[in-house]
Structure 1
Amino acid sequence: MDNIDTIDRRILSALQQDADQSLEDLGAKVGLSRNACWRRVRILQESGVIRKRVALLDPQKLGLGLSVFIQVRTSNHDPDWLDKFARAVKLMPEILGAYRMTGDLDYLIHARVSDVKDYDALYQRLIAKVDLSDVSASFVMEELKETTELSL
């Protein structure tokens, strides 16, 4: 969607901060009536700019206090292996993100688990599903910044 204007950006920014706010409150923040605001939000949803609205949960309070980045290297790059790997990571709920990378690293996986023992169980399940050449993990000691908000 190429025609996002200043008001759309203000709507998107406000929704990134609180997607649960009423249309009245959202409209007041961006200077639109409830109905005009609703029309713009609907267009942003239909165009795919707004993919979905979610609740952000506190992983600590849910017993998922360990954030881990898993670095994966593979010697196999054929389409069947890639499909198998993609299916495996998509089916593991602990995995929050999986990315194909440039450079020395083939894939980077971000996961949330309760502790190192829980990570080891995830690791064992992953290597049982997909043949990997090298896997290493880095455990997050401190989160300095983590956000879902895009810069608009």
Structure 2
Amino acid sequence: MPSDAYPLDEIDRRILNALQVDASHTNAELAALVHVSPPTCLRRVKQLMDNGVIERQVALVTPEQVGARLTAIVEITLDVQAADRMEEFEHVVALEAAVLQCYRVAPGPDFVLVVQVADMPAYHALAHRLFTTHSNVRNVKAYFSTFRSKFETRIIV
């Protein structure tokens, strides 16, 4: 276990696993589910949030139901890989709502992005905004999802 990892006990693990499946439970429901008292559950969840173990709680939206039908996995290679230039690129993509995830990777490209847009014209507009006009982008390689066979957000703890 990395030294910066928060020390989790079995109760914390049960709480985290239950919340990752369905975070809409009331405190009483969650407490019953993980076999602790409601006050203990509330205190534990607050500690997990205060210590950054639970980053945030969100609703997962079905992309097709909101018109975001095209998923692209995009590899980006920069011309200059100096730390400040990498951070500059990360800042640019962080401001773009259609970029759902951004990873620095090695070896190979410098970044891998997960992008969700309405359609191919929307992807082209995004590519122009983020990649074509950015002077440090050397290479862009995009893969377009034809079918999503698995999508999961939970981490087994």
Q: Give TM-score, length-normalised by structure 2.
A: 0.91
**Residue 151 (structure 1) aligns with:** 156
1:34 is the counterpart of 2:34: no
1:23 maps to which of 19, 22, 27:
27
Which of 84, 89, 92 is 2:93 aligned to?
89
Tell me whether 1:129 sits opposite 2:134 in the alignment.
Answer: yes
The runs of at least 4 consecutive aligned structure 1 residues that moved more than 4 Å come to none
1:23–1:37 CA contact under 8 A, matched in 2: yes
Query: Displacement, 1:105?
Result: 1.4
1:12-91 pair list within 5 angstroms: 12-91=16-95
The answer (yes or no) to whether the contact 1:84–1:130 under 8 Å persists in 2 is no
Question: Could you tell me how far apart the structure 1 residues matched to 2:114 and 2:144 are?
Answer: 10
The residue that corresponds to 1:11 in the other structure is 15
* RMSD value, Cα: 1.3
Amino acid of the structure 2 residue aligned with 1:7 = I
Shift of 1:103: 1.2
- How many residue pairs are counted as aligned between the two chains? 152
Distance (whole Å) between structure 1 residues aligned to residue 84 and residue 12 of structure 2: 42
CA distance in 2, matches of 1:121, 1:146: 26
Instruction: State the Cα distance separating 1:2 from its structure 2 match.
Output: 4.1
- 8 Å Cα contact 1:88/1:130 also seen in 2: no
Distance 1:56 1:16 in 2: 11
User: How many angstroms apart in 2 are the aligned matches of 1:101 and 1:78?
Assistant: 14
Distance (whole Å) between structure 1 residues aligned to residue 105 and residue 7 of structure 2: 31
Q: Is the 8 A contact 2:6 2:53 kept in 1?
A: no
Once the two structures are TM-superposed, the CA of residue 130 in structure 1 deviates from its matched residue by 4.3
Q: Percent identity?
A: 33
Alignment-mate amino acid for residue 150 of structure 1 = I
SS in 1 for 2:20: helix
Q: Distance in 2 between matches of 1:129 and 1:106?
A: 15
Deviation track 1:77-110 (CA, whole Å, cap 9, x = no partner) reads: 1233223211110110000011111112111111
Amino acid at match of 1:73: T
Native 8 Å contact 1:88 1:129 kept in 2:
no
Residues 1:103 and 2:104 are matched in the alignment: no
